[in-house]
Amino acid sequence: MIFTKDDFGPDFHWGVSTAAYQIEGAHNQDGKGPSIWDQFVKKKGKVQDGSTGDHACNHYHQYEEDVQLIRSLNIPNYRFSIAWSRIFPEGTGPINPDGVDYYNRLIDACLAVGITPWITLYHWDLPLALEKKGGWVNREILNWFEHYVSTCVRLFGDRVKHWMVLNEPMVFTGAGYFLGYHAPGKKGINKFLPAMHHATLCQSLGGRIIRDFDPEATIGTTFSCSHIDPASEDSKDIKAAQRFDALLNRLFIEPAMGMGYPIQELPIAKRVEDYLKADDEKNMAFDFDFVGLQNYTREVVKYNWYMPYLQGQIVKAEERNVDLTTMGWEVYPQGIYKMLKRFQAYENVRSIIVTENGVAFEDQCEDGQVKDIKRVRFLQSYIREVLRAKKNGVKVDGYFVWSLMDNFEWAEGYEPRFGLIYNDFQLQKRIVKESGYWYSRFLKSSKVMLTDEPQKSEF
Ligand code: BGC
């Protein structure tokens, strides 16, 4: 079967995504305060290539050109995040007018050319001043976050109608407060559990604040998710896979759906009771207008008695003889279908938007051109699975590519290139890749097709 954009319907939201720390640069300009990432990247050995997001894509200064590029590629929706420490350099206290001015200009630039802004309120760059007071581990974060979110909706809510509260809470609490390989580099279960619980509370709190301010706004929050298979039919592997699934795919969405934490499959989560206060369970729930699904790969899990809390481990994709990306992730388009079906199965999900999907491959820029055919195939195959889900009754109403352009990929630095646009970081020069042109043609014309099933060797 051959499909085009029209098969998704006229109201489907097509877009691209970015995040402040990964693209803005201008890390200490115009009154911005430091964030946990500004500090973390300067510690030895934290970022693989030793780089920082100090300058990133210089989007802070080049946003007009970038918005024009989005326009020229026919992409109608742009998802970006606000850097909390541009608005509040100290996390709370006085507002930084220049930071507010920047986001006003960015929002207005989008609207002026007919691009709808979709704002993520928190994409991992906590103000450092708040981390010094304990960050996500300190329950005070609920007050800091309330102040920050209400300020943002008051400042920008006259023009911004699409909001996402958090970006992937599992990743920023797991990598940042349990494993320590993301900012702020904290480790251990006693950091992770309170950080997790406070993030869960903030996720719904943020939703309520926006709804109170603007009942018409479309409010969501985003979740990382990956289909998980057991390494074998052995019941030990199956149970280990279920524990990982509860941790990676269920821990944040289920409390938001009013189902509480999945403690039956993830017994360690029961210890969150140490941090529970009256009404918390009720307050964890919120009826989001949409859930943001972010999917890249799948995981395979095997039993390992020695692994604390989980008694299991991920079998690396490179050991499984599968197609790999620069991140070492398996290319697995069916996974997005499976996760869409699972999210849909939650009773309280009203609508799902794929707020991130994309891939890093080794792109080469030759003679001013980037022929990233593998990314074109990747996007086509994942988008086709999104359509399959839609046709099978999943209320999936949007798809955003990660990412607009190559950017600072956290602990992996600048090597993985996820963009539809190639960035020459020395010159800060943007070069639209073949995938960007393909996406653009696909969005513009009802005649551009999603191709038929790709051959395995195409990746
Ligand atoms: C994050 C992005 C990140 C992307 C690719 C998501 O986990 O939201 O910030 O760049 O995946 O790793």
417 within 8 A of 375, measured Cβ to Cβ = no
Residue among 79, 1, 35, 94 nearest 358 (CA): 79
| Tens digit of each residue's pLDDT (9 = 90 or more) over 363-418 | 999 999 999 999 999 999 999 999 999 999 999 999 999 999 999 999 999 999 99
* 18 CA distance to ligand 1 middle (Å): 9
356 as an active site residue: the answer is: yes
Catalytic residue, chosen from 254, 356, 385, 409, is 356
Q: What average pLDDT does the chain have? A: 97
Looking at residue 122, its pLDDT comes to 99
Place of tokens 């009771």: 273
Peptide bond into 184 cis (omega under 30): yes
* 410 CA distance to ligand 1 middle (Å): 8
Calculate mean pLDDT across residues 168-196: 98
Calculate mean pLDDT across residues 37-52: 98
Region at 141 (left for phi over 0; alpha for psi -120 to 50; beta for the rest): alpha
Domain architecture of the chain: domains with CATH:
2-228+246-291+327-451 (3.20.20.80)
* 100 CA distance to ligand 1 middle (Å): 25
Contacts of residue 434, defined as CB under 8 A and 6 or more positions apart, other chains included, come to 369, 370, 371, 372, 373, 375, 376
Looking at residue 2, its pLDDT comes to 80
Alpha-carbon distance 259 to 346, whole Å? 10
Nearest ligand 1 atom to alpha carbon 327: 12
256 within 8 A of 204, measured Cβ to Cβ = yes
Q: What percent of the chain has pLDDT over 70?
A: 98
Supply φ then ψ for residue 293, to 5 degrees. -100, 130
Q: Would you say the C-alpha torsion 97, 98, 99, 101 has a positive or negative sign?
A: positive
Pairing of strands 369-370, 312-314: unpaired
Cα distances (angstroms) measured from residue 45 to each of 41, 48, 50, 144: 8, 7, 7, 31
The pair of structure tokens assigned to 157 is 């809510």
DSSP 8-45: G-TT-EEEEE--HHHH---TT-TTPPPBHHHHHTTSTT
Nearest ligand 1 atom to alpha carbon 19: 9
The pair of structure tokens assigned to 42 is 């300067």
| Tens digit of each residue's pLDDT (9 = 90 or more) over 147-167 | 999 999 999 999 999 999 999
Nearest-5° Cα angle at 12, 6 to 18:
120
Q: Which of 171, 356, 375, 407 to mutate to test the pocket of ligand 1 (most atoms within 8 A of CB)?
A: 356
Looking at residue 340, its pLDDT comes to 98
Atom 10 of ligand 1: nearest residue by CA position: 409
Nearest ligand 1 atom to alpha carbon 167: 8
Alpha-carbon distance 302 to 365, whole Å? 39
* 357 CA distance to ligand 1 middle (Å): 9
Q: Which residues line ligand 1 (CB under 6 A)?
A: 19, 22, 167-168, 171, 224, 294, 356, 402, 409, 418
Q: Which of 402, 405, 423 to mutate to test the pocket of ligand 1 (most atoms within 8 A of CB)?
A: 402
Calculate mean pLDDT across residues 109-117: 99
- Looking at beta carbons, which pairs linking 132-138 to residues 24 or more positions away fall under 8 Å? 135/36, 135/177, 135/184, 135/186, 135/195, 136/172, 136/173, 136/176, 136/177, 136/194, 136/195, 136/198, 136/199, 137/177, 137/186, 137/191, 137/194, 137/195, 137/198, 138/194, 138/198
Alpha-carbon distance 328 to 163, whole Å? 31
| Tens digit of each residue's pLDDT (9 = 90 or more) over 237-280 | 999 999 999 999 999 999 999 999 999 999 999 999 999 999 99
Residue among 432, 331, 341, 323 nearest 382 (CA): 331
Contacts of residue 403, defined as CB under 8 A and 6 or more positions apart, other chains included, come to 16, 17, 18, 22, 358, 418, 419, 420
Nearest ligand 1 atom to alpha carbon 410: 10
Atom 9 of ligand 1: nearest residue by CA position: 19
